[in-house]
Structure 1
Amino acid sequence: MARKGGSMAGTGLGRFVRLGGLLALVALVVTACADVQEDGSPDGGATGPTADRQVPDNRDITIKIAVNPWDGSAANANVAKVLLEDELGYTVELVEIDEFAQFPALATGDLDATLEVWPSGHGKDYKKYIEAGAGVVDGGELGVIGQIGWWLPTYLLEERPELATWEGLKGNEDLFRTAESGDAGQILGGDPSFVTFDQAIADNLGLNLKVVYAGSEAAQLSALDAAYQKQEPILFYFWTPHWAHAQYDLTMVELPEVTPECEDAAVNDPDAYACGYPQDVLYKAFHDGLQAKAPSAFAFLSAMSYTNEDQNAIALEIHNGVDPAEAARTWIDAHPDVWQPWVDAGLAAE
């Protein structure tokens, strides 16, 4: 990390030179050298506000953290990795895995943590693995608030303001027809591993729409950019927080309010779902053996919490081609007030 211990220039060294005390100068140099460890940095290389103490030696313990296929997940995981390694001394392995597979992996201990679960898509997993005590524990809120929905470029509403609601889409589905969707209008999905109810929503609301998957978030965003540049119609599954909202003017289509019936359908009968997506308070989930295996890592990850704006700043850098770890370090360097309490919680559990 960029922050190291304070500089000697203009303080003790300057004062001794002005006094002409050669012996004092020699003593100062010897003292400074004695404080430097083998890696060339004070106190073993610790950084930031904790640079004046020794980093715990937890290198023999590996923490495996899930990375789901979206930039926000990579942002969370890399922030955690950098701080767990630099401040608490752990070895961290990031594991690319889709959001369905991560719960069985957490239950068996093949994963130690996932840092961004969208509850609207994982009610069944919460009941099966967390409420039933089947190897997974709730790790607390991430602090990020999510909202999934159907989105349009706002320019479409200038001539067709009715498209802002699902009722206004009815009868206008042909506007979104593509070769892939055939006789129906297209709802462009992203990664097919994402938890969605879009086809059920369209069918149950009587909308002639067909979900077509772009294959990945990146491919979906490429399609959005192409349509946006030409001011063409596009209707797509998307969410906030996401850096794209800073680049494109987008409007979420108003779908029916979430009802108790839809809450039940999301868990027990997804094909019956006929509402919009609920607002998601994103949470973390851990293997139930993590606290015993690595108590300070458990405490750190439990305390980890930041905002949509924090995550978006890192995710935008990742999207722009910055290495995820470097994007995380840039944010870490600028926000010690946010992450220092997480580290303090970890140190208290050491």
Structure 2
Amino acid sequence: MFKKFRLLGLAAALVLVIALAACGGGGSEEGSDSGSDGDSGSSDGGDSGSSVELGESELTIPYVAWAGAIARTPLVKQVLEEVGYTVETSQVEAGAMWSSVANDDASFMTASWLPATHQSYWEQYQDDVEAIGEFVAQAPLGMTVPSYMDVNAIEDLKGNEELGEAVDWTITGIDPGAGVMQSTEEAIETYGLENWELSSSSEGAMLSALQTAIENEEPIIVPGWKPHWKFAEMDLKMLEDPEEVYGGDGDRIEAVAHTSFKEDSPAAYEVVQRITEDYDTELENELLVAINDGAEPADAASQFLEDNPDLLEKWTEGLGE
């Protein structure tokens, strides 16, 4: 009998221990989950954490051979490679840059100029693309001349026989698909510059002609935009544009991706967002000056990341597989 009661007591004690363990285990599990969520949320100071995976790991970034795009694209490429992506960059014209992203043949671009310069492309492709980060908040554009020229506004070109004959009534342009070229064609029409023509070439050819003209103190008119090293290296001015054909205070330079990019390559989407949070005109000018001083764009990007390890860590922390 005694033995029987003893066994019953042991059984009751065992049940009590199991019940207490279950309660304690449940509390411990909740605390563990809470801590895990806290770690995930604080791993990079943003919305993403170590759970952000690569997804589609082969990316293509199309870019146009404009100074800013040449500077920032290798930087973005190298940060993405740090996370684990394989990145191919492809130099194209502006129209192909937009269409390849809209068709999902390319992942994203680093050189959209909105709302003015690339307005026609946005209207054509807006259902298939989205802006995912801003590199430069204000990037003014306009007809640009050496400061020694006696013209200050676009209207000053109208009927200006002396200047027209001196430059063969020609505005020296860049690649024909560029938005700034479309804006210049519109300016010619808006300001009634019937005698003037816009010649197309490339940014490199335009810059060479501009440098030669300045060395000889000759007149020249080109489409210009900021940020660009030419404004630091040469004494230039943009002509006043009261009709705001070139967009007034300036466009935003943004990263634009296909609408499926975030789902397809979530860590890459996060990388671009993090970079654009810190990227600004000052950062871009640092890259532009290094390139203009002779550095290859990829080397300028590598040197910047080497000199700014805190930014590289911030842009990559908690991302990848």
Q: What count of residue pairs does the alignment treat as equivalent? A: 265
Contact between 1:57 and 1:89, CA under 8 Å: does it hold in 2?
Answer: no
* Structure 1 equivalent of residue 213 of structure 2: 227
Structure 1 pair 60–114 and aligned structure 2 pair: CA distance change class (3 A):
closer
Q: Equivalent of 2:165, from 152, 170, 177?
A: 177
* Structure 1 equivalent of residue 301 of structure 2: 328
Task: State the identity %.
Answer: 29
In structure 2, list runs of 5 or more residues that go unmatched.
1-49
Residues 161-206 of structure 1 deviation map (CA, whole Å, 9 limit, x = unaligned): xx11233333425314367x4xxx2211112221222233123312
The 3-state SS of whatever aligns with 2:130 is: strand
Output the amino acid matched with 1:296.
A
Output the amino acid matched with 2:202.
S
1:101 aligned to 2:96?
yes
1:64 aligned to 2:51?
no
* Structure 1 equivalent of residue 133 of structure 2: 140
In structure 2, how many angstroms separate the alpha carbons of the residues matched to 1:57 and 1:348? 6
Q: Which moved more, 1:195-204 or 1:332-341?
A: 332-341
Residues 64-99 of structure 1 deviation map (CA, whole Å, 9 limit, x = unaligned): 11221112102111001111112x111111111222
In structure 2, how many angstroms separate the alpha carbons of the residues matched to 1:204 and 1:257? 8
In structure 1, how many angstroms separate the alpha carbons of the residues matched to 2:56 and 2:156? 59
* Structure 2 equivalent of residue 246 of structure 1: 232
* Structure 1 equivalent of residue 175 of structure 2: 191
In structure 1, how many angstroms separate the alpha carbons of the residues matched to 2:189 and 2:161? 13
The 3-state SS of whatever aligns with 1:164 is: coil
Contact between 2:61 and 2:109, CA under 8 Å: does it hold in 1?
Answer: yes
Output the amino acid matched with 1:313.
E
Q: Which moved more, 1:217-226 or 1:66-75?
A: 66-75
In structure 2, how many angstroms separate the alpha carbons of the residues matched to 1:325 and 1:98? 20
In structure 2, how many angstroms separate the alpha carbons of the residues matched to 1:200 and 1:294? 38
1:164 aligned to 2:122?
no
Output the amino acid matched with 1:174.
E
Q: How does 1:1-350 map to 2 (within 5 A)?
A: 61-86=57-82, 88-119=83-114, 120-130=116-126, 132=127, 134=128, 136-156=129-149, 160=150, 163-177=151-165, 181=168, 185-195=169-179, 196-258=182-244, 275-278=245-248, 279-305=250-276, 306-344=279-317, 347=318
Contact between 2:101 and 2:257, CA under 8 Å: does it hold in 1?
Answer: yes
The 3-state SS of whatever aligns with 1:328 is: helix
Q: Please state how far the C-alpha of 1:290 moved relative to its aligned partner.
A: 2.0
Q: Please state how far the C-alpha of 1:217 moved relative to its aligned partner.
A: 0.7
Q: Please state how far the C-alpha of 1:247 moved relative to its aligned partner.
A: 0.8
Q: Please state how far the C-alpha of 1:313 moved relative to its aligned partner.
A: 2.1
Contact between 1:191 and 1:213, CA under 8 Å: does it hold in 2?
Answer: no
Output the amino acid matched with 1:94.
T
In structure 2, how many angstroms separate the alpha carbons of the residues matched to 1:75 and 1:83? 14
In structure 2, how many angstroms separate the alpha carbons of the residues matched to 1:83 and 1:168? 46
The 3-state SS of whatever aligns with 1:329 is: helix
Q: Please state how far the C-alpha of 1:309 moved relative to its aligned partner.
A: 2.1
Q: Please state how far the C-alpha of 1:244 moved relative to its aligned partner.
A: 0.7
Q: Please state how far the C-alpha of 1:329 moved relative to its aligned partner.
A: 0.9
Please give the TM-score of this superposition, normalised by the length of structure 1.
Answer: 0.69
Output the amino acid matched with 2:111.
E
Residues 207-258 of structure 1 deviation map (CA, whole Å, 9 limit, x = unaligned): 2442333511111011111110111111111111100111101011101243
Output the amino acid matched with 1:277.
G
The 3-state SS of whatever aligns with 1:111 is: coil
Q: Please state how far the C-alpha of 1:341 moved relative to its aligned partner.
A: 3.2
Larger-gyration structure (1/2): 2
Structure 1 pair 79–256 and aligned structure 2 pair: CA distance change class (3 A):
same
The 3-state SS of whatever aligns with 2:256 is: strand
In structure 1, how many angstroms separate the alpha carbons of the residues matched to 2:134 and 2:270? 13
Structure 1 pair 173–115 and aligned structure 2 pair: CA distance change class (3 A):
farther
Please give the TM-score of this superposition, normalised by the length of structure 2.
Answer: 0.75
Contact between 1:173 and 1:209, CA under 8 Å: does it hold in 2?
Answer: no
In structure 2, how many angstroms separate the alpha carbons of the residues matched to 1:191 and 1:80? 24
In structure 2, how many angstroms separate the alpha carbons of the residues matched to 1:236 and 1:319? 19
